[in-house]
Amino acid sequence: MSDKNALYMEVHSVVSEIAKTEGKELGKQIGPAFIDSLTDLVFKQMESFGLDVEAFSSHGRRAVINMDDVMLCARRNDHLHTMLSGMRDDLADKKTLDRHFKNQ
């Protein structure tokens, strides 16, 4: 099995788990065709996102993708941008705390 196929199967597993959990909370039955379609959509979006962050990194003449590249990809989705900004801030706070305690 190729790496891409293995990743697709993992995405399918996670999408299935989330869809079934949400369906149960909403009192709805989630069929396999819906899960397959949603998996395809999520996987294609992941591929697109991956190509975009690579392009932003390359445009910035960097060999490594960084948080700025990810934030550029999320700029058109307010909810995602807000969520990622919070995660970035949490990571920055954690690094600050780690440095503080390491120096003591």
In whole angstroms, how far apart are CA 6 and each of 9, 18, 20, 86? Answer: 5, 19, 21, 30
Neighbours of 96 (CB within 10 A): 10
Under 8 Å between Cβ of 84 and 71: yes
**Residue range 22-57, pLDDT digits in tens:** 999 999 999 999 999 999 999 999 999 999 999 999
Parse the chain into domains and list their residue ranges: 1-63, 74-104
- 71-104 pLDDT per residue, tens: 999 988 999 999 999 999 998 888 776 776 766 6
Residue 97: what pLDDT? Answer: 66
Helix axes 32-59 and 3-26, enclosed angle (nearest 10): 120
pLDDT, residue 103, reads 65
pTM of the full predicted structure? 0.75
> Of 18 and 103, which is predicted with more confidence?
18
Cβ count near 85 (within 10 Å): 13
Q: What is the DSSP string of 12-77?
A: HHHHHHHHHHHHHHHT-PPPHHHHHHHHHHHHHHHHHHHHHHHHHHHHTT-SS--HHHHHHHTTT-
Residue 96: per-residue pLDDT: 77
